[in-house]
Amino acid sequence: MRVCLTRDFLNPDGSPGFGDIGLQRLDDAGIAWEYLAERTPELRPDQVRDHEALLLLGPQVTAATLDGADRLTLIARFGVGYDNVDVEACTRYGVMLTITPDGVRRPVAASALTFILALSHKLLIKDRLTRAGRWAEKLHHIGMGLTGRTLGIVGFGNIGRELARLAEPFGLRRVAFDPYAKPAEAASQGVELLELDDLLGLADFVCICCALTPSTRNLINAERLNRMKPTAYLINVARGPIVDQAALTRMLQERRIQGAGLDVFEKEPMDPDDPILKLENVIVAPHALCWTDECFLGNGVSACQSICDLALGRIPANVVNREVLDSPLFQSKLRFIVGKESKT
Protein backbone atom coordinates (compact mmCIF):
# COMPACT_ATOMS: atom_id res chain seq x y z
CA MET A 1 0.00 0.00 0.00
CA ARG A 2 1.26 3.46 -0.88
CA VAL A 3 0.60 6.64 1.07
CA CYS A 4 1.16 10.26 0.08
CA LEU A 5 1.38 13.32 2.32
CA THR A 6 0.49 16.79 1.08
CA ARG A 7 3.47 19.02 0.47
CA ASP A 8 2.42 21.60 3.06
CA PHE A 9 3.75 19.30 5.80
CA LEU A 10 7.19 20.51 4.66
CA ASN A 11 8.98 23.83 4.91
CA PRO A 12 9.94 25.52 1.62
CA ASP A 13 13.44 24.03 1.91
CA GLY A 14 11.98 20.53 2.14
CA SER A 15 12.58 19.99 5.85
CA PRO A 16 9.72 18.71 8.07
CA GLY A 17 7.63 21.63 9.25
CA PHE A 18 5.80 19.96 12.13
CA GLY A 19 8.42 17.87 13.88
CA ASP A 20 7.53 14.32 14.83
CA ILE A 21 4.07 13.46 13.51
CA GLY A 22 4.28 9.73 14.14
CA LEU A 23 5.34 8.57 10.67
CA GLN A 24 7.45 5.86 12.34
CA ARG A 25 4.17 3.96 12.71
CA LEU A 26 3.96 3.64 8.94
CA ASP A 27 7.60 2.54 8.74
CA ASP A 28 7.05 -0.06 11.44
CA ALA A 29 4.05 -1.40 9.53
CA GLY A 30 6.04 -1.64 6.30
CA ILE A 31 3.87 0.97 4.57
CA ALA A 32 5.56 3.05 1.88
CA TRP A 33 4.97 6.80 2.07
CA GLU A 34 6.14 9.94 0.30
CA TYR A 35 5.43 13.65 0.12
CA LEU A 36 3.70 15.00 -2.95
CA ALA A 37 6.12 16.73 -5.31
CA GLU A 38 4.03 19.90 -5.60
CA ARG A 39 2.29 22.19 -3.14
CA THR A 40 -1.05 23.07 -4.70
CA PRO A 41 -4.17 24.74 -3.24
CA GLU A 42 -6.38 22.02 -4.79
CA LEU A 43 -5.14 18.51 -5.34
CA ARG A 44 -5.26 17.07 -8.85
CA PRO A 45 -6.09 13.43 -9.62
CA ASP A 46 -2.63 12.81 -11.11
CA GLN A 47 -1.09 13.69 -7.73
CA VAL A 48 -2.98 11.03 -5.76
CA ARG A 49 -4.04 8.36 -8.23
CA ASP A 50 -1.07 6.07 -7.51
CA HIS A 51 -1.81 5.96 -3.79
CA GLU A 52 -4.31 4.12 -1.61
CA ALA A 53 -4.19 6.66 1.23
CA LEU A 54 -3.68 10.41 1.51
CA LEU A 55 -2.51 12.15 4.69
CA LEU A 56 -4.05 15.57 4.19
CA LEU A 57 -3.26 18.94 5.74
CA GLY A 58 -4.51 22.07 3.98
CA PRO A 59 -5.23 21.58 0.25
CA GLN A 60 -8.73 21.25 -1.13
CA VAL A 61 -9.99 17.81 -2.13
CA THR A 62 -12.84 18.16 -4.62
CA ALA A 63 -14.80 15.90 -6.93
CA ALA A 64 -12.28 16.80 -9.63
CA THR A 65 -9.47 15.53 -7.37
CA LEU A 66 -11.12 12.14 -7.02
CA ASP A 67 -12.18 11.70 -10.64
CA GLY A 68 -9.63 9.22 -11.95
CA ALA A 69 -7.96 8.55 -8.61
CA ASP A 70 -9.33 5.02 -8.64
CA ARG A 71 -6.93 3.54 -6.08
CA LEU A 72 -7.52 6.16 -3.41
CA THR A 73 -9.43 4.56 -0.53
CA LEU A 74 -8.68 6.74 2.52
CA ILE A 75 -8.18 10.43 3.19
CA ALA A 76 -6.74 10.77 6.70
CA ARG A 77 -7.28 14.42 7.61
CA PHE A 78 -4.63 15.83 9.95
CA GLY A 79 -7.01 17.62 12.33
CA VAL A 80 -10.74 17.71 12.93
CA GLY A 81 -11.96 20.31 10.44
CA TYR A 82 -12.78 18.96 7.01
CA ASP A 83 -14.30 21.94 5.22
CA ASN A 84 -11.50 21.55 2.64
CA VAL A 85 -12.87 18.13 1.65
CA ASP A 86 -15.93 17.42 -0.48
CA VAL A 87 -17.37 14.70 1.73
CA GLU A 88 -20.23 13.84 -0.63
CA ALA A 89 -17.75 13.32 -3.46
CA CYS A 90 -15.63 11.08 -1.23
CA THR A 91 -18.61 8.85 -0.57
CA ARG A 92 -19.54 8.79 -4.24
CA TYR A 93 -16.02 7.74 -5.24
CA GLY A 94 -15.71 5.15 -2.48
CA VAL A 95 -13.21 7.11 -0.37
CA MET A 96 -13.32 7.00 3.42
CA LEU A 97 -12.54 10.24 5.31
CA THR A 98 -11.16 10.16 8.85
CA ILE A 99 -10.27 12.92 11.31
CA THR A 100 -8.13 13.10 14.47
CA PRO A 101 -10.24 14.34 17.41
CA ASP A 102 -7.98 12.69 19.99
CA GLY A 103 -5.02 14.71 18.75
CA VAL A 104 -6.66 18.14 18.99
CA ARG A 105 -8.87 17.72 22.05
CA ARG A 106 -6.47 19.01 24.70
CA PRO A 107 -4.44 21.47 22.54
CA VAL A 108 -7.49 23.32 21.19
CA ALA A 109 -9.22 23.40 24.57
CA ALA A 110 -6.00 24.72 26.09
CA SER A 111 -5.83 27.45 23.43
CA ALA A 112 -9.37 28.56 24.36
CA LEU A 113 -8.33 28.68 28.01
CA THR A 114 -5.23 30.68 27.00
CA PHE A 115 -7.50 33.32 25.45
CA ILE A 116 -9.68 33.39 28.59
CA LEU A 117 -6.68 33.99 30.84
CA ALA A 118 -5.00 36.52 28.54
CA LEU A 119 -8.19 38.53 28.02
CA SER A 120 -9.35 38.47 31.62
CA HIS A 121 -5.93 39.64 32.84
CA LYS A 122 -5.58 42.14 29.96
CA LEU A 123 -2.23 40.59 29.19
CA LEU A 124 -1.48 42.24 25.85
CA ILE A 125 -2.64 45.66 27.03
CA LYS A 126 -0.29 45.46 30.02
CA ASP A 127 2.50 44.19 27.79
CA ARG A 128 2.12 47.28 25.58
CA LEU A 129 2.02 49.62 28.58
CA THR A 130 5.22 48.14 29.98
CA ARG A 131 7.11 48.34 26.69
CA ALA A 132 6.03 51.98 26.26
CA GLY A 133 6.98 52.96 29.81
CA ARG A 134 3.36 53.84 30.62
CA TRP A 135 3.31 52.22 34.06
CA ALA A 136 1.08 54.92 35.55
CA GLU A 137 -1.79 53.78 33.30
CA LYS A 138 -2.02 50.31 34.79
CA LEU A 139 -4.80 51.39 37.15
CA HIS A 140 -6.99 51.99 34.10
CA HIS A 141 -6.78 48.33 33.11
CA ILE A 142 -8.03 46.24 36.00
CA GLY A 143 -8.69 42.65 34.95
CA MET A 144 -11.64 40.35 35.54
CA GLY A 145 -11.32 37.59 38.12
CA LEU A 146 -12.61 34.20 37.02
CA THR A 147 -14.05 32.89 40.28
CA GLY A 148 -17.82 32.91 40.05
CA ARG A 149 -17.87 34.06 36.42
CA THR A 150 -19.71 32.15 33.72
CA LEU A 151 -18.12 30.32 30.82
CA GLY A 152 -20.51 29.67 27.93
CA ILE A 153 -19.38 26.90 25.56
CA VAL A 154 -21.02 26.80 22.13
CA GLY A 155 -20.61 23.20 21.00
CA PHE A 156 -20.30 20.59 23.75
CA GLY A 157 -18.47 17.96 21.77
CA ASN A 158 -14.93 16.66 21.96
CA ILE A 159 -13.24 20.04 22.50
CA GLY A 160 -16.09 21.69 24.39
CA ARG A 161 -16.13 18.93 27.00
CA GLU A 162 -12.36 19.16 27.42
CA LEU A 163 -12.57 22.93 27.88
CA ALA A 164 -15.19 22.41 30.58
CA ARG A 165 -12.81 20.04 32.39
CA LEU A 166 -9.88 22.43 32.14
CA ALA A 167 -11.96 25.38 33.36
CA GLU A 168 -13.38 23.65 36.44
CA PRO A 169 -10.49 24.44 38.84
CA PHE A 170 -10.85 28.18 38.14
CA GLY A 171 -14.24 28.32 39.84
CA LEU A 172 -16.11 29.20 36.65
CA ARG A 173 -19.75 28.34 36.29
CA ARG A 174 -19.92 26.33 33.07
CA VAL A 175 -22.90 26.34 30.72
CA ALA A 176 -23.12 25.02 27.17
CA PHE A 177 -25.29 25.03 24.07
CA ASP A 178 -25.41 21.97 21.86
CA PRO A 179 -28.64 20.60 20.37
CA TYR A 180 -27.10 17.12 20.21
CA ALA A 181 -25.67 16.96 23.73
CA LYS A 182 -27.35 14.89 26.43
CA PRO A 183 -28.27 16.81 29.62
CA ALA A 184 -27.27 13.91 31.85
CA GLU A 185 -23.80 13.70 30.28
CA ALA A 186 -23.31 17.45 30.67
CA ALA A 187 -24.58 17.38 34.26
CA SER A 188 -22.06 14.65 35.11
CA GLN A 189 -19.37 17.25 34.33
CA GLY A 190 -21.13 19.98 36.27
CA VAL A 191 -22.22 21.71 33.06
CA GLU A 192 -25.73 23.03 32.45
CA LEU A 193 -27.17 22.94 28.94
CA LEU A 194 -28.96 26.13 27.84
CA GLU A 195 -30.54 27.53 24.73
CA LEU A 196 -28.07 29.64 22.76
CA ASP A 197 -29.76 32.99 23.35
CA ASP A 198 -29.91 32.33 27.10
CA LEU A 199 -26.22 31.38 27.15
CA LEU A 200 -25.20 34.53 25.29
CA GLY A 201 -27.03 36.75 27.74
CA LEU A 202 -25.49 35.05 30.76
CA ALA A 203 -21.87 34.26 29.90
CA ASP A 204 -18.83 36.36 30.72
CA PHE A 205 -16.81 34.32 28.21
CA VAL A 206 -18.45 32.84 25.12
CA CYS A 207 -16.22 30.16 23.55
CA ILE A 208 -17.05 28.84 20.08
CA CYS A 209 -16.12 25.15 19.92
CA CYS A 210 -18.63 23.75 17.41
CA ALA A 211 -18.00 22.48 13.89
CA LEU A 212 -18.70 24.60 10.82
CA THR A 213 -21.80 23.19 9.12
CA PRO A 214 -24.60 24.77 7.09
CA SER A 215 -26.57 25.18 10.33
CA THR A 216 -23.72 26.86 12.23
CA ARG A 217 -22.53 29.23 9.50
CA ASN A 218 -23.10 32.76 10.87
CA LEU A 219 -24.64 31.18 13.97
CA ILE A 220 -23.25 34.10 15.98
CA ASN A 221 -24.76 36.94 13.94
CA ALA A 222 -25.41 40.60 14.76
CA GLU A 223 -28.64 39.83 16.60
CA ARG A 224 -26.98 37.23 18.80
CA LEU A 225 -23.90 39.37 19.44
CA ASN A 226 -26.26 42.05 20.74
CA ARG A 227 -27.46 39.60 23.39
CA MET A 228 -24.01 39.45 24.99
CA LYS A 229 -23.19 41.47 28.08
CA PRO A 230 -21.07 44.60 27.50
CA THR A 231 -18.47 43.15 29.88
CA ALA A 232 -18.28 39.80 28.04
CA TYR A 233 -15.58 38.37 25.80
CA LEU A 234 -16.06 36.28 22.63
CA ILE A 235 -13.52 33.55 21.86
CA ASN A 236 -13.44 31.54 18.64
CA VAL A 237 -11.13 28.53 18.26
CA ALA A 238 -13.41 26.66 15.84
CA ARG A 239 -14.00 28.17 12.37
CA GLY A 240 -14.26 31.81 11.34
CA PRO A 241 -17.54 31.70 9.38
CA ILE A 242 -19.44 30.59 12.49
CA VAL A 243 -19.26 34.26 13.54
CA ASP A 244 -20.40 37.24 11.44
CA GLN A 245 -17.02 38.97 11.45
CA ALA A 246 -18.27 42.33 10.20
CA ALA A 247 -20.89 42.44 12.96
CA LEU A 248 -18.30 41.40 15.55
CA THR A 249 -15.94 44.14 14.36
CA ARG A 250 -18.66 46.76 14.86
CA MET A 251 -19.45 45.45 18.33
CA LEU A 252 -15.79 45.65 19.31
CA GLN A 253 -15.26 49.08 17.77
CA GLU A 254 -18.24 50.44 19.68
CA ARG A 255 -17.16 48.64 22.89
CA ARG A 256 -20.53 46.91 23.08
CA ILE A 257 -18.64 43.83 24.24
CA GLN A 258 -15.40 43.91 26.19
CA GLY A 259 -13.15 42.11 23.75
CA ALA A 260 -12.40 38.99 21.73
CA GLY A 261 -9.83 36.26 21.25
CA LEU A 262 -9.78 34.97 17.67
CA ASP A 263 -7.73 32.13 16.23
CA VAL A 264 -9.92 31.83 13.14
CA PHE A 265 -11.45 34.24 10.63
CA GLU A 266 -13.95 34.34 7.79
CA LYS A 267 -11.14 34.60 5.24
CA GLU A 268 -7.71 33.11 5.85
CA PRO A 269 -5.07 34.39 5.46
CA MET A 270 -6.50 37.73 6.52
CA ASP A 271 -6.20 41.01 4.70
CA PRO A 272 -3.56 42.89 6.77
CA ASP A 273 -5.77 45.99 6.52
CA ASP A 274 -8.77 44.23 8.06
CA PRO A 275 -10.21 46.65 10.66
CA ILE A 276 -10.40 43.99 13.34
CA LEU A 277 -6.60 43.89 13.41
CA LYS A 278 -6.46 47.53 14.43
CA LEU A 279 -8.44 47.02 17.65
CA GLU A 280 -6.65 46.92 20.99
CA ASN A 281 -9.38 44.86 22.67
CA VAL A 282 -8.75 41.85 20.41
CA ILE A 283 -6.11 39.12 20.64
CA VAL A 284 -5.54 37.32 17.34
CA ALA A 285 -3.63 34.25 16.18
CA PRO A 286 -3.16 32.83 12.65
CA HIS A 287 -5.30 29.69 13.08
CA ALA A 288 -2.36 28.20 14.94
CA LEU A 289 -2.70 28.85 18.67
CA CYS A 290 -3.06 25.14 19.36
CA TRP A 291 -0.02 24.30 17.24
CA THR A 292 2.24 22.52 19.70
CA ASP A 293 4.39 19.41 19.56
CA GLU A 294 1.63 17.65 21.50
CA CYS A 295 -0.96 18.61 18.91
CA PHE A 296 1.12 17.58 15.89
CA LEU A 297 2.21 14.27 17.34
CA GLY A 298 -1.32 13.46 18.49
CA ASN A 299 -2.83 14.28 15.10
CA GLY A 300 -0.14 12.38 13.24
CA VAL A 301 -0.34 9.28 15.37
CA SER A 302 -4.12 9.19 14.99
CA ALA A 303 -3.97 9.70 11.21
CA CYS A 304 -1.23 7.09 10.80
CA GLN A 305 -3.26 4.66 12.87
CA SER A 306 -6.15 5.10 10.43
CA ILE A 307 -3.79 4.22 7.58
CA CYS A 308 -2.43 1.18 9.42
CA ASP A 309 -5.98 0.02 10.14
CA LEU A 310 -6.81 0.29 6.45
CA ALA A 311 -3.76 -1.77 5.52
CA LEU A 312 -5.04 -4.54 7.81
CA GLY A 313 -8.58 -4.35 6.46
CA ARG A 314 -9.95 -2.77 9.62
CA ILE A 315 -12.30 0.19 9.70
CA PRO A 316 -10.53 3.05 11.52
CA ALA A 317 -12.00 5.11 14.31
CA ASN A 318 -13.39 8.58 13.58
CA VAL A 319 -14.78 7.98 10.10
CA VAL A 320 -16.69 11.05 8.94
CA ASN A 321 -18.69 9.52 6.07
CA ARG A 322 -19.68 6.19 7.58
CA GLU A 323 -22.19 5.61 4.80
CA VAL A 324 -19.25 4.85 2.49
CA LEU A 325 -18.58 1.65 4.44
CA ASP A 326 -21.54 -0.02 2.74
CA SER A 327 -20.49 1.17 -0.72
CA PRO A 328 -19.64 -1.72 -3.08
CA LEU A 329 -16.94 0.50 -4.61
CA PHE A 330 -15.29 1.09 -1.25
CA GLN A 331 -15.54 -2.59 -0.34
CA SER A 332 -13.90 -3.62 -3.61
CA LYS A 333 -11.05 -1.19 -2.97
CA LEU A 334 -10.59 -2.60 0.51
CA ARG A 335 -10.49 -6.16 -0.77
CA PHE A 336 -7.89 -5.14 -3.33
CA ILE A 337 -5.69 -3.66 -0.59
CA VAL A 338 -5.77 -6.60 1.80
CA GLY A 339 -6.78 -9.48 -0.46
CA LYS A 340 -9.62 -10.47 1.84
CA GLU A 341 -12.96 -9.29 3.17
CA SER A 342 -12.87 -6.26 5.47
CA LYS A 343 -13.03 -6.68 9.24
CA THR A 344 -15.15 -4.13 11.10
For range 34-41, the mean pLDDT = 97
User: Three-state SS for 175?
Assistant: strand
Asked whether residue 317 falls in the same domain as residue 229, the answer is: no
Asked if pLDDT for residue 343 goes beyond 50, the answer is no
Asked whether residue 115 falls in the same domain as residue 237, the answer is: yes
For range 302-331, the mean pLDDT = 97
The confidence score (pLDDT) of residue 342 equals 46
Residue 92: CA count within 13 A, CB half-sphere? 12
For range 151-165, the mean pLDDT = 97
Asked if pLDDT for residue 271 goes beyond 90, the answer is yes
Residue 147 and residue 169 in contact, taking contact as beta carbons nearer than 8 Å: no
Catalytic residue among 88, 268, 280, 323: 268
Domain that residue 122 falls in: 104-280
268 is catalytic: yes
Asked if pLDDT for residue 188 goes beyond 60, the answer is yes
Asked whether residue 236 falls in the same domain as residue 143, the answer is: yes
Asked if pLDDT for residue 341 goes beyond 60, the answer is no
Number of domains in the chain: 2
Catalytic residue among 7, 51, 106, 287: 287
- The verdict on residue 286 lying in a domain is no
Distance CA 27, CA 4 (A): 13
- The verdict on residue 87 lying in a domain is yes
Asked if pLDDT for residue 338 goes beyond 90, the answer is no
Q: 148 burial class (0-12, 13-18, 19+ CB within 10 angstroms)?
A: exposed
For range 25-54, the mean pLDDT = 97
For range 192-209, the mean pLDDT = 98
Phi, psi of 12 (to 5 degrees): -55, -30
Asked whether residue 179 falls in the same domain as residue 85, the answer is: no
**Is 0.85 topped by the overall pTM?**
yes
Catalytic residue among 51, 106, 224, 239: 239
Distance CA 320, CA 313 (A): 18
Residues 6+ away with beta carbon under 8 Å from 127: none
Q: How many CB atoms are located within 10 Å of the residue 254 CB?
A: 9
Longest distance between any two alpha carbons in the chain, whole Å: 74
Distance CA 140, CA 83 (A): 42
Give the tens place of pLDDT for each residue, 105-139: 999 999 999 999 999 999 999 999 999 999 999 99
Residues 6+ away with beta carbon under 8 Å from 89: 61, 62, 63, 65, 66
User: Three-state SS for 77?
Assistant: strand
- The verdict on residue 344 lying in a domain is no
Q: 89 burial class (0-12, 13-18, 19+ CB within 10 angstroms)?
A: middle
The confidence score (pLDDT) of residue 215 equals 96
Question: What's the CA angle centered on 191, arms 189 and 195, to 5 degrees?
Answer: 145
Asked whether residue 63 falls in the same domain as residue 164, the answer is: no
Residue 236 and residue 242 in contact, taking contact as beta carbons nearer than 8 Å: yes
Asked if pLDDT for residue 344 goes beyond 50, the answer is no
**Looking at residue 79, which CATH number applies to its domain?**
3.40.50.720
Asked if pLDDT for residue 28 goes beyond 60, the answer is yes
Give the tens place of pLDDT for each residue, 75-113: 999 999 898 999 999 999 999 999 999 999 999 999 999
Asked whether residue 116 falls in the same domain as residue 207, the answer is: yes
Asked whether residue 78 falls in the same domain as residue 110, the answer is: no
Asked whether residue 93 falls in the same domain as residue 113, the answer is: no
121 is catalytic: no
The confidence score (pLDDT) of residue 339 equals 83
